[in-house]
Structure 1
Amino acid sequence: MSDLAQAAVLMAVLFLMLGLGVWVALALIACGLVGLLLFTSAPPGVLFATTAWGSTASWALTALPLFIWMGEILYRTRLAEDMFSGLGPWVRGLPGRLVHVNVLGCGIFAAVSGSSAATAATIGRISLPELKSRGYDESISIGSLAGAGTLGLLIPPSIVMIVYGVAAQVSIVKLFTAGILPGLMLMLLFSGYIALWSLRHPSRVPADTNHVPWRERILRLRLLAPVALLIVAVIGSIYTGVATATEAAALGVIGSLAIAAWGGSLNRQSFVASLMGAARTSCMITFILLGAAYLTSAMSFTGLPANVAQWISSLGLGPYGLLAVLTVFFVLLGCFLDGISIVVLTTAVLLPAVQAAGIDPLWFGIYLILVVEMAQITPPVGFNLFVIQGITGLQLFTLARMALPFFLLMVVATVLITVFPQIVMALPGAMG
Structure 2
Amino acid sequence: MDPLLLAAIVAIATILVLFSGVSVALGLLIVSAGFLIVFDGMRSLELLPEIFFGKLDNFALLSIPMFIIMGAAIASTRAGADLYEALERWLTRVPGGLVISNLGACALFAAMSGSSPATCAAIGKMGIPEMRKRGFPDGVAAGSIAAGGTLGILIPPSVTMIVYGIATETSIGRLFLAGLMPGLMLVGLFMAWSIWSTWKTGDATALSAGRYSWRERLEILPRVLPFLAIIAGVLYAMYGGIATPSETAAVGAILCLVIAIVIYSMWSPRAIWSVLRDSTKESVMILFIIGAAGVFSYMLSSLYITQSIAEWIAQLDVNRWVLMGVINVFLLVAGFFLPPVAVILMAAPILMPIIETAGFDAVWFAVVLTINMEIGLISPPVGLNLYVINGIAPDIKLKTILMGSLPYVGCMVAGIVLLCLFPGIATWLPDLVMGDMP
**Fold agreement, TM-score > 0.5:** yes
For 1:263, the equivalent position in structure 2 comes to 264
Kindly provide the CA deviation profile for residues 343-399 of structure 1, in whole angstroms up to 9, marking residues without a partner as x: 111011110011000111111111111111111111001111121121122343332
Q: Once structures 1 and 2 are overlaid, which stretch shifts more, 149-158 or 121-130?
A: 121-130
Deviating more after overlay: 329-338 vs 389-398: 389-398
In structure 2, the partner of 1:25 is 25
Deviation at 1:204, TM superposition (A): 6.3
Equivalent position of 1:339 in the other structure: 340
Partners in 1 of 2:14 and 2:127 — Cα distance? 39
Deviations 1:218-246 (A, max 9, x none): 33333321222122122222222222111
Read off the aligned partner of 2:26 and give its amino acid letter: L
Q: 1-side partners of 2:84 and 2:338: how far apart?
A: 32
Aligned-partner residue type, residue 271 of structure 1: I
Q: Which of 405, 429, 432 is the matching residue for 1:430?
A: 432
Please give the root-mean-square deviation of Cα atoms over the aligned residues, in Å.
1.5
Which residue pairs with 2:273 in the alignment? 272
Paired residues in the alignment total 432
Please show how residues 107-122 of structure 1 align to structure 2 within 5 Å. Answer: 107-122=107-122
Structure 2 distance, partners of 1:201, 1:259, is: 42
Return the offset for 1:41.
Answer: 4.6
Question: C-alpha separation between the residues in 2 aligned to 1:286 and 1:340?
Answer: 10
Matched with 1:381 is 382
Which residue does the alignment assign to 1:225?
Answer: 225
Superposition deviation, residue 11 in structure 1: 2.1
> What residue in structure 2 maps to residue 295 of structure 1?
296
Contact 1:36–1:44, Cα closer than 8 Å, also in 2? yes
What are the residue-to-residue correspondences of 1:159-238 with 2, within 5 Å? 159-203=159-203, 205-238=205-238
Q: How far apart are the structure 2 equivalents of 1:316 and 1:271?
A: 58
Aligned identity (percent) is 36
Q: What is the deviation of 1:117?
A: 1.2
Structure 1: runs of 5 or more not aligned = none
1:101: how far off?
Answer: 1.6
Match of 1:56 in 2: 56
Distance 1:34 1:204 in 2: 61
How far the C-alpha of 1:307 sits from its partner, in A, is 0.7
Does the CA contact (< 8 Å) of 1:379 and 1:397 recur in 2? no
Shift of 1:195: 0.2
SS in structure 2 of the partner of residue 335 of structure 1: helix
Could you tell which deviates more after superposition, 315-324 or 97-106?
Answer: 315-324
> Which region of structure 1 is more displaced relative to structure 2, 13-22 or 375-384?
13-22
Q: TM-score, normalised by structure 1?
A: 0.96
Q: Is the aligned partner of 1:350 residue 2:320? A: no
Given that 2:24 and 2:342 are in contact with CA atoms closer than 8 Å, whether structure 1 keeps it comes out as: yes
**Alignment-mate amino acid for residue 116 of structure 1:** S
Aligned to 1:123: 123
Question: Quick check: 37-46 or 240-249, which moved more?
Answer: 37-46
Q: Secondary structure at the match of 1:43?
A: helix
Tell me, yes or no, if the aligned pair for 1:198 and 1:205 is still in contact at 8 Å: no
Gaps in structure 2 of 5+ consecutive residues: none
Query: Which residue identity is paired with 1:117?
Result: P
* SS of residue matched to 2:105: helix
Residue matched to 1:402: 404
- Tell me if the contact between 1:137 and 1:205 (Cα under 8 Å) persists in the aligned partners: no
- The reply to whether residue 413 of structure 1 matches residue 415 of structure 2 is yes
**SS at 1:264 equivalent:** coil
User: Which residue does the alignment assign to 1:310?
Assistant: 311
1:320: how far off?
Answer: 1.5
Matches within 5 A, 1:69-148: 69-148=69-148
Q: How many Å separate the matches in 1 of 2:225 and 2:3?
A: 57
Mapped to 2, the partners of 1:128 and 1:28 lie a distance apart of 38
- 2: CA distance between counterparts of 1:170 and 1:316? 28
- Counterpart contact for 2:92–2:210, Cα < 8 Å: no
For 2:134, the aligned partner's letter is R
Aligned residue number for residue 239 of structure 1 = 239
Distance 2:208 2:225 in 1: 26
Q: Displacement, 1:209?
A: 3.8
